[in-house]
Amino acid sequence: MAGGGFSRLPSGTVVVALTMPSPAADGGTVRVLVHAANRARALTRLRNLGLRAVYLRGNADPPTPDEITAVLHHPDGVLWRRTGPDVLAQLWQPIRALTPTF
């Protein structure tokens, strides 16, 4: 995993952001956001979706305020988008659009 982090919200919940290698062969990365009651539940949500080898060590790359806003306004609370130097700005997509490729 390339990096990740979390932000605790005033309500007591957390937003976890993880950056991991893309499942496509293009060498890019995927940024995944999860809103949950705590960090452990956020990682459990991802593992239940099929992302088994997901760990959060440290807080090197926490979610930005824009990322927090995006995940809070999505009904599922789990989003992703492709990132990287050669990728133009993409919209956040629901996790259902990514998990079949893993």
pLDDT digits (tens, 9 = 90+) for 15-67: 999 988 877 656 778 889 999 999 999 999 988 888 877 888 888 899 999 99
* CB-count exposure of residue 44 (10 Å: 0-12, 13-18, 19+): middle
Q: What is the pTM of this model?
A: 0.83
| Torsional sign, CA 53, 24, 2, 39 | negative
Q: Per this entry, what is the length of the chain?
A: 102
pLDDT in tens, 14-23: 999 998 887 7
Q: Can you list the positions of beta strands (E) in 1-102?
A: 3-8, 14-21, 29-36, 78-83, 93-94
- Pair 2, 21: CB distance under 8 Å: yes
Q: Where are the domains of the chain?
A: 3-101
